[in-house]
Structure 1
Amino acid sequence: MSKVLAQLESIKFHLQYVGQLDSTLNQSLYQHVDMGMVEMMLEQAARFSDEFLLELAERGDRVGCSLDKGGVTLPAGTDQAYQAWCELGFPALSLSESQGGLGVPLTVQLAVQELIDGANLAFGMLCINQRCATKALLGAVSQEPVEQWLAGLADGSLAATIAISEPQAGSDVGRIATRATSSPEGGWTLNGSKIWISYGDHDATDNILHLVLARTAGGGTRGLSLFAVPKRLDDEDNGVSVLRLEEKMGLHASPTCVLALENTRGYLIGEEGRGLVNLFPMMNAMRQAVATQGAAVANAATLQALDYAGTRPQGGRADAPARPIIEHADVSRMLLEMTAKSELLRALSLRTASYEDRAACCEDDDADNARDWQQLAGLLLPVAKTLSAEWGFEVANQGIQVLGGYGYTSDYPMERMARDVRVGSIYEGTSGIQALDFAHRKLLGDQLGAMQRLLALIEADLAGSQADNPLRAPLEQILSIYREVLRCIQQPDWLAGGGAYPLLRLSGVLLCCWNGVTLYQAAHDDSEYQRRVRQAMDLFSVGLAAEAESWAAKVSLKRYSLSAQ
């Protein structure tokens, strides 16, 4: 069985026990979706990845993209893979039936994304942009081009980007200089440049819709507005050009472009001066996608390492055949650590998505409940994005160690996986930015309201857990540690600048311990996969409370004060 198809059992397991998919599909919003349809989608995505993406990932990494006067050319085979992706209907997953889509739950969308990203993260970047762009467009004032764009995104004939960064404005978006001016006869004209634009140009589609932050008035973030800028308009170029392709560590088959906008026509999305607010739905969707990327690479790397370790003979008695290295205790330890992290990342990503699904399923007269579930999803999101990005790289790096010398070479995909996933803790908001958002907006800005509801859910699951669950005692200890830290951060002298990241990582320990309790309890069958999950959760429990203590001690430190010379 292929390594992609081998993931179907574990993904279905998570959808059932963590994603609560059965409950979601019983809601009226998803009455057109059943488990048979979901399983068919997952199998199609796995077979598509096997047929098109695995070999393309190796070739794309080796040859990369090229830029000439005609624009960017993707590695050979990308266009065929993309057309097959569109023919299967996958670009339509996120849009409702009334919008020309399939309207499946977010948990299912991310399960499909994981199968794609685990096989070929560079190709997955193209698909993620499309799905996330719909989030920004759905909040736009109804206008004819928006309906056309949504239709193009749904059938895959239109690609999309998010264009924020500039040379002087990375995380500091308030320094964006790209200017948008209105014309007397209506419409907007944009001039400026953007950097680090994933799939900013390519030959997979005839047109690309750029979602661009530009300045309409004043300084800072309040002077920014959001615009939709087509690459081509009325069958003519619209003043968007590629100045160069970035040379980068990984994702060689995903063109990262420097774009110039010269007298480019754009369409205002939402209200003028509310660009960041109007872009947040897309940004949050991108951050959720990054969480899934980390989980995808971690799980793919773990399966690759397990397969290699089971077939690589090394060591043993001189007068006997060499043993597979999986039988060596240190290799088994590394494989179980990889298993624990990859399973827990998938659980964290799907739990976050399941709360969004629950919010979406609330009836119109149940706005308070919908808000509560949405706030819980928002609370988990920066933790899921950060931990998945960082652990995804750590798991791939540990996979290199399992493979030894072969892991360091391009004979196996492990080193490419590590290079590709490394950017996850940088783009769509660095880990430090996520931590500040978590501390200021999600915790203190909400007066701990959503966190208290989350802790109640955790305590309810803890009370219902089995006495022999190895993560039960650590979870009790970590909850006590966490409540003390929450009291600390409410003090007026707490410095979030240095303490926010340790706070986020402590929250990650708490959430992963909780998910570990769930996974261990659910893994009651005697299949090879579920036995490995139980072993991995057992190992993960060792020293977990001490790790929580370590992060908690750093939350209140006041020693972070370097300065430029």
Structure 2
Amino acid sequence: MSFADQADRTLEILALTPGWHRLRDLRPDCDDETVAAIVLEAANFAEGVLAPLNPVGDRLGARVVEGRVKTPQGFADAFRQYAEAGWLGMDVPEKFGGQAVPLTLHAACAPLFERGCVALMMAAGSTRAAAHLLAEVADQDTANEWVPKLATGEWAATICISEPEAGSDVGRLRTRAEQRDGEWVVTGQKIWISFGDHDMTSRIGHCLLARTNDQPGTRGISLFLVPNEIDGRSNGVSVDRIEEKMGLHGSPTCAMRFDGARGILLGKEGRGLPHLFTMIELMRLLTGCQGLGLASAAADVAEDYARERRQGGRPDQPPVPISSHPDVARQLHELRSTTEILRAAILELATTMDIARLEPQSGLDDFTGWMLPLIKNFGAETGFNVAGAAIQVLGGVGYTRDWPLEQYLRDARIMTIYEGTTGMQALDFLTRRLWRDEGRGLAIFLQKARDEIDAYATEHPGASEAALAALDEFERLSAGMISMRDDDPDGALYRADAYMRAAWSVVSVWMALRLSETNAVAGLAAQFAFHSARCA
């Protein structure tokens, strides 16, 4: 499947997504012809401009030269082209120079860009998310100055959370911000900052969490925008080093130092982490798109190779394509089905997020909150697992650098770690989305899935029955996890990962039936239903 084929498949699955039909009613400017033109152009851009840089970035990497980060050859020009073509600001509000297209359209295009060059897109992802953050929480002057510059790629942005002694435990961060002569001044160290410094834009804004008082935990943490330079002069922001990583070599992961750097308070003091979730949620959805982009590419490589590689068959006849061997056919079916189920789930979430924003009375925010940990984590896992499965199809050659699969595998491995590890997603899914929200998102999921699965009962009675049985079993499992909140909370936390995986199994059942135009995918639904019941 080429980039254009991936675009066609995306449009086909989007047309099957019930929420998309509602969204088109709410956004009549998003007619089929316009949307198809945009997605196909994204495929062309990804293939023509981004994809040639993927092996270059992996081979050359980024490096520090005289205290500044130098990106791989071609990255700066490609970032400029990406921004000038309107991709960077496509869903940014029009008043800030964006095109204000629905999030769904971005989610349809993003996997194409991530497939092209996931390392370079790390800079685009944080810059776009920061534009949305500043549009929402910054004061008017700051938003008017920064958001248009971010949307056009003239400036870039990062997200700065982690520190040497405070990773996932944000409440322990030590970077401090204090007021001096009416200005906020930030001092401390941040690590794991993607594109913390680079040569692709003239200015970089760091969306940074810092402690502004001594209240315990996250209550004393505020959010700041810290530019790397002000009026052409350094703002006390420097790079200590670039991390040596397994993958994403083209993306400089920086350890940053802030030494009396002037910052702009974003939102309310002490509300830094809640404010930052505007950015985090967009980046978690994008992580699912990253995994989907790499899975799409890996599945293509495996299928193309299996059609061309000839081995086995009758000894008195020419060798046959390995795709004709039943076990290879099974592997290809599994990696392709896994990829397309993820594609359908991402589009389901994105359309629902759009509808929830346009119709706040719908109550769909609970469902989007329930789905987001699943898309983030299992999108990331799918990217890694499909790359690994594709290597298995190719055999020994898949393990060599003659083929791109080993790079896909290395690049994908970090995705279940950044933007919240698997364990953090599981705990969020259990304690916030089930316990704190009192199962409201779960209830919407069960209703949406049952309504759609019922519609397939005539054409696929066996798969529909198995899918409904899996939903019933998962609902019983959820009730048990709710009761453990009071009876055995530690036991529930121990089972949080398994519970989240059971949820993804039943979401996969739902999506598989949506893709049931082919008997192969319909058959997969019963397989997932069995897996879901076993997890329960």
Range class of TM-score, shorter chain: over 0.9
Q: SS state of the match for residue 238, structure 2? A: strand
Q: Does 1:546 align with 2:535?
A: no
Q: What does residue 465 of structure 2 align with?
A: 473
Q: What does residue 555 of structure 1 align with?
A: none
* Cα offset, 1:5, TM superposition: 1.5
Q: What does residue 196 of structure 1 align with?
A: 192
Q: What does residue 444 of structure 2 align with?
A: 453
Q: SS state of the match for residue 541, structure 1? A: helix
Q: Deviations over 1:466-495 (max 9, x none)?
A: 334253122122112112112211212243
Instruction: Specify which of 511, 532, 535 is matched with residue 520 of structure 2.
Output: 535
* Cα offset, 1:15, TM superposition: 1.5
Q: SS state of the match for residue 471, structure 1? A: helix
Distance in 1 (CA, whole Å) between partners of 2:354 and 2:243 is 37
* Cα offset, 1:550, TM superposition: 3.0
Query: Scaled by the length of structure 2, what TM-score is found?
Result: 0.96
Q: Does 1:368 align with 2:361?
A: yes
- Does the aligned pair in 2 maintain the 1:14–1:347 contact within 8 Å? yes
Q: What does residue 408 of structure 1 align with?
A: 399
- Does the aligned pair in 2 maintain the 1:113–1:124 contact within 8 Å? no
Q: What does residue 562 of structure 1 align with?
A: none
Letter in 2 for 1:11: T
Distance in 2 (CA, whole Å) between partners of 1:198 and 1:412 is 26
Q: What does residue 493 of structure 1 align with?
A: 487
Is 458-467 or 387-396 further displaced after alignment? 458-467
Distance in 2 (CA, whole Å) between partners of 1:302 and 1:177 is 44
Distance in 2 (CA, whole Å) between partners of 1:141 and 1:277 is 14
* Cα offset, 1:537, TM superposition: 4.0
Q: Does 1:150 align with 2:147?
A: yes
Q: What does residue 560 of structure 1 align with?
A: none
Change (3 A) 1:47 1:32: same
Instruction: Specify which of 289, 293, 303 is matched with residue 292 of structure 1.
Output: 289
Distance in 2 (CA, whole Å) between partners of 1:50 and 1:465 is 37
Is 250-259 or 85-94 further displaced after alignment? 85-94
Long gaps (5+) in structure 1: 524-530, 553-565
Change (3 A) 1:168 1:19: farther
Q: SS state of the match for residue 427, structure 1? A: coil
Q: SS state of the match for residue 203, structure 1? A: coil
Letter in 2 for 1:137: L
Distance in 1 (CA, whole Å) between partners of 2:530 and 2:28 is 46
- Does the aligned pair in 2 maintain the 1:19–1:107 contact within 8 Å? no
Q: Deviations over 1:258-313 (max 9, x none)?
A: 00001101000000001111101111111111111112211221111111111111
- Does the aligned pair in 1 maintain the 2:381–2:416 contact within 8 Å? yes
Letter in 2 for 1:410: R
Distance in 1 (CA, whole Å) between partners of 2:45 and 2:334 is 29
Letter in 2 for 1:535: A
Distance in 2 (CA, whole Å) between partners of 1:476 and 1:31 is 34
Letter in 2 for 1:499: R
Superposition pairs of residues 38-49 of structure 1, within 5 angstroms: 38-49=35-46
Q: What does residue 14 of structure 2 align with?
A: 15
Q: SS state of the match for residue 493, structure 2? A: helix
Q: What does residue 373 of structure 2 align with?
A: 382
* Cα offset, 1:21, TM superposition: 2.9
Please report the RMSD computed on the Cα atoms of aligned residues, expressed in angstroms. Answer: 1.5
Distance in 2 (CA, whole Å) between partners of 1:236 and 1:465 is 63
Distance in 1 (CA, whole Å) between partners of 2:104 and 2:463 is 25
* Cα offset, 1:25, TM superposition: 2.5
Q: Deviations over 1:164-218 (max 9, x none)?
A: 000111111111000101123x221001010000111111111111100001001
Q: Does 1:443 align with 2:434?
A: yes
Long gaps (5+) in structure 2: none
Q: SS state of the match for residue 159, structure 1? A: strand
Q: What does residue 418 of structure 1 align with?
A: 409
Q: Does 1:109 align with 2:106?
A: yes
Letter in 2 for 1:368: Q
Letter in 1 for 2:448: L
Letter in 1 for 2:487: D
Distance in 2 (CA, whole Å) between partners of 1:464 and 1:448 is 25
- Does the aligned pair in 1 maintain the 2:423–2:497 contact within 8 Å? yes
Q: What does residue 86 of structure 1 align with?
A: 83
Distance in 2 (CA, whole Å) between partners of 1:141 and 1:74 is 30
- Does the aligned pair in 2 maintain the 1:15–1:107 contact within 8 Å? no
* Cα offset, 1:98, TM superposition: 2.1
* Cα offset, 1:462, TM superposition: 2.0
Q: Does 1:316 align with 2:310?
A: no
Q: SS state of the match for residue 404, structure 1? A: helix
- Does the aligned pair in 2 maintain the 1:290–1:424 contact within 8 Å? yes
Letter in 2 for 1:427: Y
Instruction: Specify which of 234, 237, 259 is matched with residue 262 of structure 1.
Output: 259
* Cα offset, 1:33, TM superposition: 3.6
Change (3 A) 1:47 1:141: closer
Q: What does residue 216 of structure 1 align with?
A: 212
* Cα offset, 1:104, TM superposition: 0.8
Q: Deviations over 1:12-58 (max 9, x none)?
A: 0122112643431221xx34443332222212211111112222101
* Cα offset, 1:391, TM superposition: 2.1
- Does the aligned pair in 1 maintain the 2:291–2:384 contact within 8 Å? yes
Distance in 2 (CA, whole Å) between partners of 1:346 and 1:233 is 42
Q: Does 1:69 align with 2:60?
A: no
Q: SS state of the match for residue 407, structure 1? A: helix
Letter in 2 for 1:4: F
Letter in 2 for 1:386: N
Letter in 1 for 2:39: L
* Cα offset, 1:349, TM superposition: 1.2
Distance in 1 (CA, whole Å) between partners of 2:287 and 2:492 is 24
Superposition pairs of residues 96-175 of structure 1, within 5 angstroms: 96-175=93-172
Superposition pairs of residues 42-61 of structure 1, within 5 angstroms: 42-61=39-58
Query: Scaled by the length of structure 1, what TM-score is found?
Result: 0.91
Letter in 2 for 1:544: F
Instruction: Specify which of 503, 508, 512 is matched with residue 512 of structure 1.
Output: 508
Is 418-427 or 307-316 further displaced after alignment? 307-316
Q: Deviations over 1:410-460 (max 9, x none)?
A: 111111111111111101111110111111111111111221122111111
Q: Deviations over 1:138-165 (max 9, x none)?
A: 2224331221110011111111110000
- Does the aligned pair in 1 maintain the 2:211–2:221 contact within 8 Å? yes
Distance in 1 (CA, whole Å) between partners of 2:526 and 2:137 is 49
Q: Does 1:347 align with 2:340?
A: no
Distance in 1 (CA, whole Å) between partners of 2:28 and 2:261 is 43
Q: What does residue 528 of structure 1 align with?
A: none
Q: SS state of the match for residue 427, structure 2? A: helix
Q: SS state of the match for residue 91, structure 1? A: coil
- How many residue pairs get aligned? The number is 530
Q: SS state of the match for residue 265, structure 1? A: strand
Is 134-143 or 502-511 further displaced after alignment? 134-143
Instruction: Specify which of 382, 391, 394 is matched with residue 382 of structure 2.
Output: 391
Q: Deviations over 1:349-376 (max 9, x none)?
A: 11111111111222xxxx432xx11221
Q: What does residue 561 of structure 1 align with?
A: none
